[in-house]
Amino acid sequence: MTDTAGSEDAIVIERSFDAPVDLVWKMWTDPAHFKAWYGPDGATIQVAKMDVRVGGTRLVCMEMQLPSGPMQMCFVGEYREVVEYQRLVYTESVSDERGNVLSPAAMGMPEGHPAITEVRVELADLDGRTTMVMTHSGVPSNSPGAAGWTMAFDKLARRLDAQDLAP
């Protein structure tokens, strides 16, 4: 496992999983599997709608319990590139639960946070194992989003290691 910080305006994380590339791909593209690992510790994914094809849309909503009460965050986007078992690229914008784009400031994000970011997932097969490089452009490498991605990938690794594959 390697976590690598990228430029100041991108989170770049590289991880290796002891699982075949087709299974890691399924974890990213099957809504039931995605809901099981995505998000930081303590988050539950209430909605995961994915039309995984170029031009297809996605909507993901997560809920987290904070000391001040529950907080919901939703993200909407469009798939820009889909190369099965190799590369997945999609946009991401903060939205409401219906997929209407909201301003980042409305969700308490810092001034200057872009309205649209891009997530790029690159997978490579290494003798039955999978190397993954995830780049989230437009999000600072030192942001809370970086910690959230790291926690999510830790959950993904545990799920793959345990062969806990029931959606």
- Write down all domains in the chain, each with its CATH number in brackets: 10-161 (3.30.530.20)
Cα dihedral sign for 39, 45, 47, 52? positive
* Structure tokens belonging to residue 163: 């062969």
Q: State how far the Cα of 121 lies from the Cα of 12, in Å rounded to an integer.
A: 10
H-state helical runs in the chain: 21-29, 31-37, 144-161
Please report the pLDDT score of residue 165 as a whole number: 62
Contact by Cβ (8 Å): 128, 15 = no
Burial class (CB in 10 A: 0-12, 13-18, 19+), 67: exposed
Q: Band the pLDDT of 66: cuts 50, 70, 90.
A: confident
Question: Mean of the pLDDT values across residues 37-65?
Answer: 96
Question: Mean of the pLDDT values across residues 74-101?
Answer: 97
Question: Mean of the pLDDT values across residues 87-108?
Answer: 91
The whole-model pTM stands at 0.89
75 forms beta bridges with 60, 94
CA 31 vs CA 44, 46, 47, 48, 120: distances in Å: 13, 11, 9, 5, 18
Please report the pLDDT score of residue 109 as a whole number: 74
